[in-house]
Structure 1
Amino acid sequence: MPSADGPGTESIAMVDFAKTRSGTANVPAPPQETTGLRRRFSIRRAWTHHREQTINDRNRLGSARPNVESDELYRQRRRSSAVDMEMVAELLEKDHLDTDTHGISEIRDGWFDAVYLKQRPLDYQRLMRHAESTLPAAFAKDPPLSLQHFLPKQRRQLRSVFFKVMTTRSGVRLFKASLAFFIAYCLCLVPQVREWLGRYNYIMVVSVIINHPARPMGPQLDGTILTILGTISGLAWGVIGLILSYSTVDARTGYGAILALFFSIFIACAAYIRAYWTRFYQFSISAGIAMCYSCLAEVNGEQVRYIKFWSYGIPWILGQAISLVVNLAFLPDAGSRALAETLHEAFLIMQDALEIPRPRNVLLRRSLARVFVAVGVAYRDLRLDVSFTRYNPVEVRELRNLIQGVIRSILLLKTETRLFERWDLPEAGIVPVTVTAFETIATDVDGSTEASSGDTKTMPEDDEDALLRLVALKLAAPTEDMLLHMRSVIRSCDAALMDMSGYRSALGPPKDEAYDVDQAKNLLRKAIDDFDQADQELQLSGVLPDTLRIKEVSNVLVFAHHIRGAAGSIDTLGVHVSDMKQSAGRPKFYLPTYSLHKAINYANAQIRRDRGGVSASNVKMTFDDITTLIEAIQSKEHRPAPRSRKSSISGATTPPERSPTTMEAEEMPKPESKHSKFGYQIWRILHRLQGFESKYALKVCMLTALLAIPAWLEKSRSWWNLEESWWAVVMAWVMVHPRIGGNMQDLLMRALCVTLGAVWAGVAYAARNGNPYFMAVFALIYMLPMLYRFTQSSHPRSGIAGCLSFSVISLALVTADEHQSAARMAATRGLAFLVGTVSAVMINWILWPFVSRHELRKALSSMLFFQSVLYRGVLSKYVYYEEQKQPTKQDIERSEMLEGRLREGFVRIRQLLIMTRHELRLRSPFDPLPYSALADACEKFFEHLIAVRQAALNYDPGYVRDNDAAAEKLLSYRRDAVACILSNLYILAGALKTDRKVPRYLPSAAVARKRLLDRMAEIEAEELAAQKMHVTSTGLHVSLASNGKWAQVYGFAFNESLTGCVAQLEELERYTKLIVGEQGFDDDFRDDDSDTSDKEEDERIPHHK
């Protein structure tokens, strides 16, 4: 019996996900569970089983088989495994290649054989150099927290803002927001209007700011309705609380407690709605402001002053009316401009991506992924609100799907190809060989064979350049022609869609360039026909007898067929755009058509910007969507089927049953008990209450209630009402964000804007003792940059803080009595705004803070787990499926939907990575390199899985399903190969989620794959021997079909992608260990005193957090 510790393996162990048990094959069992006698008996039984199996195999090989292949043609079917084995060998060191088990094997359900290899030396510098190349483009900019670059950065941003305002649509949006604000502000400066509106006339300006008109028509209508309804609900709840608190003598004694209770209940509910349903952001924010006003402003503990609700409600409605009129009357955006801009950008990036050949461009691929997501978001925004456009939302939905399909096909392309190289004529010294009809039999399209003993083909044998030249001469010209017309169709579609939107003059392409979609589409179809003809001629020519022995030739053929697939997608896109152009008439009104359960969870683009924290909110929304899709896949429990087993002791046999040869599992029936369903629903509700929405509601309730305590105390009531300190609670409510609180830079900027607004209001009033003309001029000077910062910059909360501070304080100074000191009023009110703003940031730092680097680590953990689910689904649905269970169109659509969400997840992860640049870290600067490299490796693993799925649709490995005996022999090896990858992904995902170290030794997926390939080669050799015997006895020769060669090409891509998954898994392991550390065997038993002595060993892999 050979030693279990063979060359290249430190140990071989049996691993079970559910429990630990010793095995009887492959490895020496643990001494505490297996004695020497039992071990010898187990080995003897394994050898007996192996000898009997060998005899049975020889008996089967001796029998005649129908429909066999010739020796030469059958070898072509094996070359995919041979080439793939070479790629696997590159992942293993020379002493790791011996995976012979000496005929001992065991098939056990729920187990897999794990091989642990000695780790290679870690080249830390090489890893970091590679990691630097994976960083997002934003890391090339100056550090945002650097004081040295602060002033130059501000100068560049000012120039950029000025250019955008003067030359783009940003100027129009700023004009509309400023005009609405200026109208409301000037009305409040008119004495008659101010007296009619009352003390709180500035609420009209606040209403304009909250629902500013710098947004499309549909969102403006939606915001008007929601803010009015929110205001009504807040005032109504406040009235009920005031009435109950003043209803009886005892209630008046404890009115403060009653108001606090009513206030806390309402503000907690409004906060939960604000966090859970982003669609109702404007409703919740206006309801919270109204509630603060009702329960905190002019509260005297004696009677309800109903006039104050008039003083709030009427100005609010007037402010909404001003915003709505300005939005509709001045250069209205009917709702399609954002979609047109996104489509134009997508078409430009697709044109750039089709400039082939070129080196692999990571930034361009990331741009494709970004517009892949942006097109879907733009379509969703179109359907969320009312629109007036020539774009039919139903047609736009199909357009979105087709554009994403084109992007998906472009991302499959490997742009570093040798197809378009200049190939010289063959040298005279090359000796041609003759390929007879026996070796290569041409096949017609219908599958009939044609062979003539006189037909011969000459070609240089096993010469890579010669084979590449043959392929290039046949396919390079039609492929290049296809690429040319593909770009032409994309340009024509871009021009047609921009003409439909009416923004071609503003966005492009230039109108003097004529693009005809139908003409470009016809030229593309002609190019596709030429390629198909050349492709067919190449298949039938018989010049590729040994194609798969050469990796470069297979890569070129796969690349050409991927171009053909992308051309088909673009042709379908051109047909749809042409139909849209022909059916487009006059612009029409389209009501919201998005499904209700989805519409309440999404907000339009301007609301997302006004709400702030766009990146953090998008991350949560995207990963929630992915989780929902993952949960929609029914969980399945594996039920092992009984096998025929022969006992080596008594010779008794069990009735033989068919063993499963696929990796499908039986679906467990769901419980039908109503009681269990009811209990599950209760559990879901209680579990949901543990989410961040409840934490946010509790946080907001605590913050606002603590700030509002002086309003309900007798001693502090007078100064509270006099100084209108309830604005501190309002600012805290407005500034506290459900997801992200802000960093030190945000705190300083918001405090600066609030302070500057108060000071500017005092200066404006003191300039001419409240002269309305001077006040209007000062307001215009100050509010222009603040409104731009609120409505269009990436820092809206500092902008809204400055807008509210100046508007409320300046108009309060105008409305106040003359005997009150303007400086004191500006200082006290400014202090109230500052306290509310700062407290909102501080509580987000203290209670459940949002830390980008922690969220990044958890997002990477989730993505690794999602990759495991996708890997399992691809293999079960597209590779190891049972007979008559081929993937359906619905399966493909669901897979593409999940892949689209995962692609969006990688975009969000890069946004999180960029956010880490804005966070201070006291211990040491945060190192983004291992995180970026881990995300890049995970994305490459994802791309390999997509390539596996695409190749599996064209490649049908017959030995997996058609031959039950071969499939049975491969089952345990396939199990080991799949389980090794899944176990590694689970371990790495768990380590990242819990921030625990990764075990030093993990199951080697490369060895498991090599063992699978070795076993496949053995089985194919056995079948080849049987076929040679049958050919010798009968003289029968059966050729592979002509399209079998292209099946081999796709098989090469299939195997190469699976091997790429194994390679990327090693990268995932390396960078995960760099992030969370590495767990050794004796780490838990080391004394604290021995840490210094083991410092060199511990620092073998640096730890980055």
Structure 2
Amino acid sequence: MSSDNQDMEAQADDGIRRRIKVQDDTPGNLENDYPIQVSLSRPHITKNSRPRLESRRSSAMSIAQIDQVLSDDDMDEDTYGVSEVREGLFEAIFLKPLHLNVADLLERSKTTLPAQFDKSNPLAPKYFVSRQWHQLNSLFRRIATTREGIRLFKTFSAFFIAYCLCLSPGVRGWLGPYNYMMVISVILNHPARTLGGQIEGTVLTIVGTAIGIGWGIIGLLLSTSTLAASAGYGGILAMFLALFMLALACIRAFFIRFYQAVLCAGIAIMFTTLADTNSQSIIWDNLRSYAVSWLFGQVIALVVNVLIFPDAGSRALATALHQAFDTMQEALDLSDQPCGMRPRRRLADAFVNLSEAYRDMRINITVSRFRPDDVEQLRNKMQAVIRALLSLQTEPELLHESRSEQGCVVIVDRPDSDNVDEQSSPSSANIHSVVRTAADDMIRNVVEPLRAPTKDLLDGLKEGLRGCDAVLMDLSGYRKYLGPSEVVSSDLAPVQIRTKIVIAAFDTVESTILHSNDTPVSSIHDANVVQLLVFARRARETIATVEALMDQVASMQRVPDWPRAYLPSYPIWKAIHRTNAQVRHDRGGVTAGYYQKTFVEIARLLDKIKSLDYKAISQIQHGQAQEEPQAEFNRSMTNSDASIAPVSKKRKLRYKIWTGLYRLQGFESRYAFKVCLVTSLLSVPSYLPQSNEWWDYYQVWWVVVVSWAVMHPQIGGNIQDLVTRSGVAILGATWSGMGYAAGGGSPYVMGVFSALYMAPMLYRYTISSHPRSGLVGCLSFTVTSLGLQTHGGGSSPTTFAVFNGLAFFIGTAVPIIVNWVLWPFVARRELRHALSSMLFFMSILYRNVVGSYVYFSDGKEPKPEDIQRSEILEGRLREGFVRIRQLLVLTRHEIRLRAPFDPLPYSGLADACERFFDHLITVRRSAISYNPSYIRDDPLAAQQLLSYRRDAVATILGNLYILAGALRSKRKVPLYMPSAAAARKKLLVKTAEVEEDMSKKAPPNDIKKHKEWSDVYSFSYSESLTGCVVQLEELEKYTKLIVGEQGFDDEFQDEDEDDDNRV
């Protein structure tokens, strides 16, 4: 809350219709950047709607907050007491347009950039040498001190064993001419992965190879079955290849789980239909050589994975858990984080990583001391703690003793007379005396009793998280390698006892403050005090989640800790869209794949949100017969699944067919078309008589294999990828030729050359963030060097190496160029679409929160399962913001010809959208505790507020729809937008009037209800709704900065510019 108010102060300097009305006579506040003190003075509300302090739930503070955003000059309208209530429509208020201060907006956006932008531009030539040197130094350090060195050692060991076997003449002669497929098999399913991933990869690669060879054999048999078929030999093989590749590409794009099988099946079918097929006869020895070599390669990789530093899969889970605990403990150091943006983002990353670690455990064979069901409960408890930590704002100033006396300012109401001159009044000294007395009472009766228990809660949070981390690392067996230190005790029982004592002490103080007659009434209406109360309550809720986490960890501690093997147990319909971490890395394009999958899941969850049937309150008094037609009409307008007549089976079938055809228009089908196009065109020389000799001798069919291996379903690659991949392809072939020429074909010399080249290239493929270029380099060297050994160098080793290098160069470059031309993946465009989708998601979430938690009907209170679904949806949306920041980082790797891409407005828009999202979460959580049922129970009061609520909600929804559409279509935003601030102010003023009227009729005992926590939550609830309005204006400003602003005279300005250009 404090950071939001500071943002309001920064926005005031823009001149964007900010007239902050703060009455503060305390000099201390001028020297410190404290939250804006909310005054309950008379000018903040209209004369006829000024509520008394003893009203049931006063809206005066909320009106003061909205006054910080909107001044009375903007609301200068006189309706002469005439109002109109129209069912189904809303009254939009248009105020003066926002004036954009571009320089200030961009300056503020710099603080919202992801941490990766702190590094130098990856495309900047002047930083290239220094960056490479720094990365080289860090590379040696990571290999020598981290587990990356072990993974590289395992991979290189398996490769070198297979490579040396192929260098042996006896083994090479027994395996046949395609003996190097044993090395290719090791590279594609390298042992730098977990044991479960290795077993799965072994099965998938063998099955995929068998399917590919089987389909190729069918094509060969069919093409040679008759004389007519032999006449169309090449055409039949091309058709078999195209159809099979089309199916494989679809499977590769739709079902990532089968990536290894599909990749190997594609290589097998290319070998079967393109290698040594010009004799128009099946060479069974070649097929045996390929299959046996591939099988032996998988055996070597599996044995190395099992025998050399085996990883059963539990280390990755332990690492994710430990990093999450470290992040949560860092986030609790609130006093050391003036901004708090980076820690919050790290919390969001930890939230996502926990789900990924749990999914990886359930998706593969895992040997662990943790049971999968316990890990699921542990993940849920840890994510609940992270959600609670994200709700904590910066520590209030009143929590610190040194600043409490300066920051606590109480401003009481003035007398009812508007003509009192405060400075000339003879009683001004008495007024200041009253203020000082009220401040002292507040500090003595509210702040000081609550300060120590709240700090004890924060200390209990840290101690509980440290204890859970120590216990889990002890159970996993990796505490020696990961932490924490031995100083932290792994005995949770004393920590749990101390936590219960701290909670009991806090609850006692809390109850005393709220029910004590000494608590001043004005404390509930002081912003600083209420912030302290809300922060304390949030801390109490957070420690409750930590207490539940400690109970879960303690129950896991009582389970026998011997390791057990757990088979894959993830639901199959979900598992086919997921795979393990190493395959995700080797496949490449992790950011794009995550982004696409996350937003599809968000849209799927949002589709399940149903709108409530709306029934106008004015119609309740009418009969049921008159109500049904209107209710049926509204149901058809608000519920997408509603229909007057039952849907027929024929209609359902037609809809399913349409859904399937529409799904085929996605990127998966486009990728399949590009794969079919590239592989078919590149394989044409294999069917031409004039190219038979050089195609088979120089193994040029690898050009098709490389194009299939490097073509990603989404990301094609930029100019840097083109240069890098093509460069390593040529380098691998060149290095092979140099090694063969240096030793005259000596296997010992080739072994040395392979060690020098393949060690860094295997690291690039298996560990670095550039796996596809590493794969190209590995394949280029392996095929060329072992091909030279098999052919004995041939007539000219140089020519052989040149042809191989040229084949790998073309196979690498063509897919990238095709992806540039046909449906390219442009990160900045996807970023704009993602932000548009997120704005639309925010509109649906806002509608759901308002409808389900704020303005719900009688008997429609949110149930525990509704809250759980909301938390799941909010978790997915938070993951969506993580993916947006990853897309933003991806834009740094794209070269833009027109002008350098400016990420600042996109980063600012994403940050404003995330703040809007945080406010919505606070609204939902506060609305559960703040339930203004006194208005809902009074039909007359609810009817009076109906049109105002409608206007406030509809204005925000309308603005979000407009902004989302403008971003999606890259269309300018209208100059005049409906004012959400004005609509909210009208609602607050009307609410204050209704509360005032109801307080006059309330019984005397009901006056003390302001001391309930419901009143405290009303501050957080109202402030968050006002924060949504503030962030909506930020969204509007940044969207206009991205797509432009549409004014009334834009058409004439365009014509003038055209005339000037003609002149």
TM-score (norm 2): 0.89
Maintained 8 Å contact 1:346/1:371: yes
Maintained 8 Å contact 1:644/1:657: no
Aligned residues between the structures: 986
How far apart in 1 are the matches of 2:148 and 2:911? 35
Matches within 5 A, 1:490-639: 490-542=465-517, 543-634=519-610
Maintained 8 Å contact 1:959/1:967: no
* 1:884 CA drift (Å): 1.4
Structure 1 partner of 2:728: 753
Query: CA 1:426/1:494 → structure 2, altered by over 3 Å: closer, same or farther?
Result: closer
The partner residue of 1:964 within 935, 939, 956 is 939
Maintained 8 Å contact 1:642/1:657: no
Q: What are the superposed Cα offsets for residues 387-443 of structure 1, whole Å, 9 maximum, x if unpaired?
A: 00001110101111111110110111111412322269989xx9999xxxxxxxxxx
Q: Does 1:763 align with 2:738?
A: yes
Maintained 8 Å contact 2:159/2:183: yes
* 1:768 CA drift (Å): 1.3
Q: What are the superposed Cα offsets for residues 675-733 of structure 1, whole Å, 9 maximum, x if unpaired?
A: 01100110011001101000000001000100000001122122211111100000000
Maintained 8 Å contact 2:255/2:577: yes
| Residue type at the aligned position of 1:253 | A
Structure 1 partner of 2:367: 388
Q: What are the superposed Cα offsets for residues 1024-1046 of structure 1, whole Å, 9 maximum, x if unpaired?
A: 4445xxxxxxxx62235668531
Structure 2 partner of 1:988: 963
Maintained 8 Å contact 1:268/1:697: yes
The partner residue of 2:988 within 1013, 1019, 1028 is 1013
Query: CA 1:483/1:950 → structure 2, altered by over 3 Å: closer, same or farther?
Result: same
* 1:867 CA drift (Å): 0.5
How far apart in 1 are the matches of 2:653 and 2:278? 48
Maintained 8 Å contact 1:113/1:976: yes
Maintained 8 Å contact 1:9/1:117: no
Query: CA 1:846/1:668 → structure 2, altered by over 3 Å: closer, same or farther?
Result: closer
Q: In terms of mean alpha carbon deviation, does 563-572 or 667-676 score higher?
A: 667-676
Query: CA 1:1058/1:462 → structure 2, altered by over 3 Å: closer, same or farther?
Result: farther
| Residue type at the aligned position of 1:370 | D
Query: CA 1:644/1:912 → structure 2, altered by over 3 Å: closer, same or farther?
Result: closer
Give the match's secondary structure for 1:589.
strand
How far apart in 1 are the matches of 2:192 and 2:661? 40
Q: Does 1:201 align with 2:179?
A: yes
Structure 1 partner of 2:188: 210
| Residue type at the aligned position of 1:294 | T
Maintained 8 Å contact 2:617/2:939: no
Query: CA 1:968/1:930 → structure 2, altered by over 3 Å: closer, same or farther?
Result: same
| Residue type at the aligned position of 2:841 | F
Give the match's secondary structure for 2:713.
coil
Q: Does 1:148 align with 2:148?
A: no
How far apart in 2 are the matches of 1:1053 and 1:821? 80
* 1:873 CA drift (Å): 0.6
How far apart in 2 are the matches of 1:214 and 1:205? 15
Structure 2 partner of 1:23: none
Q: What are the superposed Cα offsets for residues 816-849 of structure 1, whole Å, 9 maximum, x if unpaired?
A: 0454211111111111011101111111111110
How far apart in 2 are the matches of 1:181 and 1:974? 68
Query: CA 1:765/1:624 → structure 2, altered by over 3 Å: closer, same or farther?
Result: same
Structure 1 partner of 2:23: none
Matches within 5 A, 1:753-792: 753-792=728-767
The partner residue of 2:390 within 405, 411, 418 is 411
Write 1 or 2 for the structure with the bigger share of helix: 2
The partner residue of 1:360 within 321, 339, 345 is 339
| Residue type at the aligned position of 2:373 | V
| Residue type at the aligned position of 2:605 | L
| Residue type at the aligned position of 2:315 | R
Structure 1 partner of 2:918: 943
| Residue type at the aligned position of 2:158 | A
Maintained 8 Å contact 2:16/2:100: no
Q: What are the superposed Cα offsets for residues 205-252 of structure 1, whole Å, 9 maximum, x if unpaired?
A: 000000000000111111111111110111111111111111111111
How far apart in 1 are the matches of 2:688 and 2:77? 80
Query: CA 1:838/1:1087 → structure 2, altered by over 3 Å: closer, same or farther?
Result: closer
| Residue type at the aligned position of 1:554 | V
Maintained 8 Å contact 2:175/2:292: yes
Q: What are the superposed Cα offsets for residues 433-457 of structure 1, whole Å, 9 maximum, x if unpaired?
A: 9xxxxxxxxxxxxxxxxxxxxxxxx
Matches within 5 A, 1:800-949: 800-817=775-792, 819-949=794-924
* 1:958 CA drift (Å): 1.8
Maintained 8 Å contact 2:323/2:350: yes
Query: CA 1:819/1:696 → structure 2, altered by over 3 Å: closer, same or farther?
Result: closer
* 1:924 CA drift (Å): 0.6
Q: What are the superposed Cα offsets for residues 626-647 of structure 1, whole Å, 9 maximum, x if unpaired?
A: 111111223667576873899x
How far apart in 1 are the matches of 2:671 and 2:881? 26
* 1:525 CA drift (Å): 1.3
TM-score (norm 1): 0.86
Q: What are the superposed Cα offsets for residues 15-61 of structure 1, whole Å, 9 maximum, x if unpaired?
A: xxxxxxxxxxxxxxxxxxxxxxxxxxxxxxxxxxxxxxxxxxx9xxx
Give the match's secondary structure for 2:945.
helix
How far apart in 2 are the matches of 1:689 and 1:462? 73
Maintained 8 Å contact 1:426/1:466: no
| Residue type at the aligned position of 2:548 | T
Q: Does 1:139 align with 2:114?
A: no
Structure 2 partner of 1:261: 239
Maintained 8 Å contact 1:186/1:776: yes
The partner residue of 1:724 within 693, 699, 709 is 699
How far apart in 1 are the matches of 2:705 and 2:837? 37
| Residue type at the aligned position of 2:838 | M
Structure 2: unaligned runs, 5 residues or longer: 1-14, 18-47, 413-432
Maintained 8 Å contact 1:728/1:836: yes
Maintained 8 Å contact 1:201/1:311: yes
Structure 1: unaligned runs, 5 residues or longer: 1-7, 11-57, 59-70, 434-457, 647-652, 1028-1035, 1096-1105
Maintained 8 Å contact 2:524/2:1010: no
How far apart in 2 are the matches of 1:550 and 1:751? 66
Query: CA 1:910/1:585 → structure 2, altered by over 3 Å: closer, same or farther?
Result: same
The partner residue of 1:347 within 322, 325, 341 is 325
| Residue type at the aligned position of 1:490 | L
How far apart in 2 are the matches of 1:255 and 1:672? 51
How far apart in 1 are the matches of 2:101 and 2:945? 36
Q: What are the superposed Cα offsets for residues 841-886 of structure 1, whole Å, 9 maximum, x if unpaired?
A: 1111111101010000000000001101110111111111111111
The partner residue of 1:185 within 142, 154, 163 is 163
Aligned-pair identity in percent equals: 49
Give the match's secondary structure for 2:997.
helix
| Residue type at the aligned position of 2:1024 | S
| Residue type at the aligned position of 1:396 | V
Matches within 5 A, 1:253-332: 253-332=231-310
Query: CA 1:477/1:383 → structure 2, altered by over 3 Å: closer, same or farther?
Result: same
RMSD: 2.7
Structure 1 partner of 2:772: 797
Maintained 8 Å contact 2:445/2:513: no
Q: What are the superposed Cα offsets for residues 767-791 of structure 1, whole Å, 9 maximum, x if unpaired?
A: 1111111111111111110011100
The partner residue of 1:1064 within 1024, 1031, 1034 is 1031
Query: CA 1:161/1:750 → structure 2, altered by over 3 Å: closer, same or farther?
Result: same
How far apart in 2 are the matches of 1:468 and 1:98? 40
Maintained 8 Å contact 1:610/1:796: yes
Q: Does 1:402 align with 2:381?
A: yes
Structure 1 partner of 2:311: 333
Q: Does 1:683 align with 2:672?
A: no
Give the match's secondary structure for 1:115.
coil
How far apart in 1 are the matches of 2:932 and 2:88? 25
How far apart in 1 are the matches of 2:403 and 2:696? 91
Structure 1 partner of 2:31: none
